[in-house]
Amino acid sequence: MYHHVKKLMYTVNVETPDVRFGNMLLEQFGGANGELAAAMQYTIQGWNCVDDLARRDLLLDIGTEELSHLEVVGALIRLHLKDLKTNREAAEADPLVTIAGGGGVALLNSRGNPWTADYLKITGELDVDLRSNIAAEARAKIVYERLIDHTDDPGTIDTLQFLMTREITHMKAFAAALESIEKPPFSIGRLAPTPVLVDEYFNGSTGDGDEGETDMRGPWSKAYGMHVVESQLTGGAGLSIGKVRGLAGQEERGKQDSTPTTTTAPAREELIGVEGR
């Protein structure tokens, strides 16, 4: 059951309306990282979350707050767009909202594209959904930050600062909810990944670039048990364990033909050994 309270979650003041900025704000109303998307994503995830009533409550708490954010953003946009109805020059900043929408807020992004459920990430797997939500909050935060960069209106900045702050609060809550599941971080779903292959970091971009880029290494190629595989694997379409084995065999043949080959990683040698037996 939903209940509406005739108050905004945060008081909205605009001293100097700016229709072009109001148009930009639509990104957080009907855009991909906007408040409606957040409200729908968390609420629908919550309705589907029947096996974990505690985290279902979290999803519904935050989903409901996002709907209140939508109302706040909508109020802020309407204050910025108020000149659209009467001022021709202002109307030209957003003809779609002026002519089709009568100057009110609509479920469009800043370029007039309609909101779509395709924005939502809902997998029905709680830990996977929580990761999507953490990322969604991070995106919403950065969009608010960019909006703040493009206005000087103190009241507008104040409201956007509030909304931006709440996204970090939500990020904390989703992160805590994910951590408290105490699932190993790479244990996703039921099926185990293929051993050996799962630890191979393919060095798929090689050579020296025009801007001085070289072959770089970092924790991404060696953390969590991974190692670099210098690869000739990039020529084919798609990789399967069968393809990996086949190409490993080609590397061996390459050596016999004294064709230059890349270093074969230890794990691959093991794989070839298994094949040979």
Residues lying near Mn ion in the complex (CB under 5 A): 35, 66, 69, 137, 167, 170
Closer to Mn ion at the Cβ: 5 or 237?
Answer: 5
Q: Can you list the pairs that 200-209 forms with residues at least 24 positions away whose Cβ atoms lie under 8 Å? A: 200/226, 200/227, 200/229, 200/244, 200/265, 200/267, 200/268, 201/226, 201/227, 201/228, 201/229, 202/229, 202/231, 202/233, 202/234, 203/228, 203/229, 203/230, 203/231, 204/231, 204/233, 204/234, 206/230
To the nearest 10°, the Cα dihedral for 49, 53, 55, 58? 100
Provide, rounded to whole angstroms, the least separation between the CB of residue 131 and Mn ion. Answer: 15
Q: Which two tokens stand for residue 163?
A: 């909304």
State in angstroms the smallest separation of the CB of 226 from Mn ion: 33
Categorise residue 112: left if φ over 0, alpha if ψ from -120 to 50, beta otherwise.
left
> Closer to Mn ion at the Cβ: 18 or 167?
167
The residue among 71 and 167 lying less far from Mn ion, judged by its C-beta, is: 167
Closest to Mn ion by CB, 66 vs 251, is 66
Q: How far apart are the C-alpha atoms of 260 and 267, rounded to whole Å?
A: 20
Minimum Å distance from CB 209 to Mn ion? 38
93/178 with CB nearer Mn ion? 178
84, 105 Cβ separation under 8 angstroms: no
**Shortest spacing between CB 175 and Mn ion, in angstroms:** 12
Write down the least CB distance from residue 162 to Mn ion, Å: 10
Minimum distance of Mn ion from residue 140's CB (angstroms): 6
Which of 18/35 has CB closer to Mn ion? Answer: 35
The nearer residue to Mn ion, 35 or 200, going by C-beta atoms, is 35
Which of 156, 162, 145, 149 minimizes the C-alpha distance to 17?
156
Q: Minimal distance in Å, beta carbon 2 to Mn ion?
A: 17
Torsion sign across C-alpha atoms 45, 50, 52, 55: positive
Nearer to Mn ion, 33 or 203 (CB): 33
Through-space distance between the first and last CA atoms of the chain, rounded to whole angstroms? 65
Question: What is the closest distance, in whole angstroms, from the C-beta atom of residue 52 to Mn ion in the complex?
Answer: 20
Reading the block at residue 66, the tokens are: 């996002």
Q: Which two tokens stand for residue 151?
A: 């206005």
